[in-house]
């Protein structure tokens, strides 16, 4: 029988884990990337992405409540769809969130360097790799210590975002007339850009999935997982809407996008123009801790999905081993850390975030498809919810850059080849090597 993780997380801890996964790269970096795509309409993109995230969040909640084990949609795919789609879900999750984790590490390094008055690609990559190494040690030590560190990070992050909003409201009020002009002027190209930006911003909400992937470690999951996901989404939507409006209205979309390209630290750069002394330092500190929180939570969630895949033999079975008094999947954590570090070597937040957008949209399309297959007695929400989520995810996935979705399709094809080989080895009685 496979070793099981311990149920040590309640609703407050689960909400904090969700917020720790969401409030980071999405709000501190990706709104600048999306602003560069669609201009002031990024505010609309944030709202549209919130709607899609709500559909997916409710689908994730009812699936996790009915089948509360580590692995998220990877496990739901196996249970409610078929082994091939289950594998694709796990493969996409590892790919998408490894890219998100690399973005978080690079974003952390960008804010830290900017606060110190330094810059440079080599320095940014070096600091990102150092952060990955330190947080890998924390995650390897077990869930309890990780949860305590995450709670502290989330409190600091929310305080920094509130400081940005309060300090920036006067400037936003003065500049809104000019900076928001054209927000609703959407011709053919404008609609395409809006959908591209929506796909990019959707990824910024998807940390609530961490609650589902940690289902095996949450107490009373049938009640607590849906509550935690809904509360996490509500808090996130309010914060994202407020920060995005203030950022765009106060400085304009071009300035927001330019600060992202040059420094990967847009909110800090904008905060320097506010009249409140010291707010830029507060934002920088919040961003630094937020990126660490996202990276921490992604290492947690990714290692649990890899653990689930190892249990089924879809990846080497040795990765399912649990070690120490905390029963931590140390081997899975170390493998994930190595993948994230390799992606961080690209040094480009736009590339890693765009790749994450395509792969995570495919992942959540499968989440909604699995939710459509839930038996009536396990269904908590009308079937129109997962149906809408499925259509939105598939529709948005191909609005990212063509080279990104082509690379994503190639990755799926490579994964299916590996899966076919793995199943053939298993059928012949030759298990996948443990190491």
- The pLDDT of residue 384 is above 90: yes
Q: State how far the alpha carbon of 339 is from the alpha carbons of 32, 112, 178, 294, 344, in Å.
A: 26, 23, 44, 16, 9
- The pLDDT of residue 176 is above 90: no
- The pLDDT of residue 48 is above 90: yes
Q: For 226-239, what is the HEC assignment?
A: HHHHHHHHHHHHHH
**CB distance 114 to 265 below 8 Å:** yes
pLDDT (average), residues 38-42:
91
pLDDT (average), residues 397-406:
87
What is the predicted pLDDT for the residue at 188? 66
pLDDT (average), residues 42-55:
92
What is the predicted pLDDT for the residue at 432? 45
What is the predicted pLDDT for the residue at 313? 81
Residue 70 burial (CB < 10 Å; 0-12/13-18/19+)?
A: buried
Asked: is 17-426 a CATH 3.40.1170.10 domain? The reply is no
How many angstroms separate the CA atoms of 36 and 361, rounded? 21
Region of poorest pLDDT, from 28-42, 103-117, 398-412, 416-430: 416-430
- The pLDDT of residue 263 is above 80: no
Tell me the pLDDT tens digit for each residue of 337-380.
999 999 999 887 778 888 888 898 999 999 999 999 999 888 88
pLDDT above 90 as % of the chain: 24
Domain ranges of the chain: 17-426
Question: Residue 327: left if φ>0, alpha if ψ -120 to 50, beta else—which one?
Answer: left
pTM, full prediction: 0.79
């Amino acid at each position: 029988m496979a070793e099981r993780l311990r149920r040590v997380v309640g609703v407050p801890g689960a909400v904090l884990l969700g917020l720790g996964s969401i409030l980071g790269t999405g709000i501190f970096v990706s709104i600048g990337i999306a602003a560069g795509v669609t201009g002031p309409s990024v505010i609309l993109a944030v709202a549209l992405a919130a709607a899609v995230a709500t559909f997916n969040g409710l689908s994730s909640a009812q699936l996790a409540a009915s089948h509360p084990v580590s692995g998220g949609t990877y496990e739901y795919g196996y249970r409610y769809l078929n082994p091939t789609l289950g594998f694709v879900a796990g493969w996409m999750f590892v790919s998408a969130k490894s890219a998100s984790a690399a973005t978080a590490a690079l974003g952390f390094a960008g804010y830290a360097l900017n606060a110190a008055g330094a810059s440079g690609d080599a320095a940014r990559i070096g600091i990102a790799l150092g952060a990955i190494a330190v947080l890998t040690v924390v995650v390897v030590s077990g869930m309890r210590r990780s949860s305590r560190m995450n709670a502290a990070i989330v409190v600091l992050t929310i305080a920094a975002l509130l400081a940005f909003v309060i300090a920036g409201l006067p400037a936003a009020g003065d500049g809104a007339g000019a900076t928001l002009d054209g927000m609703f002027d959407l011709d053919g190209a404008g609609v395409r850009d809006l959908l591209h930006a929506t796909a990019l911003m959707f990824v910024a909400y998807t940390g609530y999935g961490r609650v589902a992937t940690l289902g095996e470690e949450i107490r009373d999951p049938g009640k607590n997982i849906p509550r935690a996901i809904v509360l996490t989404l509500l808090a996130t939507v309010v914060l994202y809407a407020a920060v995005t409006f203030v950022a765009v209205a106060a400085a304009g979309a071009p300035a927001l996008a330019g600060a992202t390209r040059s420094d990967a630290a847009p909110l800090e750069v904008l905060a320097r123009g506010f009249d409140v002394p010291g707010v830029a330092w507060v934002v920088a500190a919040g961003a630094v801790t937020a990126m660490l929180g996202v990276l921490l939570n992604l290492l947690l969630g990714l290692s649990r999905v890899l653990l689930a895949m190892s249990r089924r033999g879809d990846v080497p079975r040795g990765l399912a081993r649990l070690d120490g008094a905390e029963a931590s999947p140390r081997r899975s954590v170390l493998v994930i850390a190595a993948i994230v570090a390799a992606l961080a070597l690209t040094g480009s937040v736009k590339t890693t975030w765009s790749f994450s957008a395509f792969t995570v949209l495919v992942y959540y399309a499968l989440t909604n498809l699995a939710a459509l297959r839930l038996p009536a007695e396990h269904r908590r929400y009308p079937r129109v919810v997962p149906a809408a989520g499925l259509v939105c995810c598939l529709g948005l996935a191909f609005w990212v850059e063509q080279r990104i979705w082509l690379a994503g399709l190639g990755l799926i094809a490579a994964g299916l080849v590996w899966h076919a080989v793995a199943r053939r080895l298993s059928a012949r009685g030759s298990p996948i090597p443990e190491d």
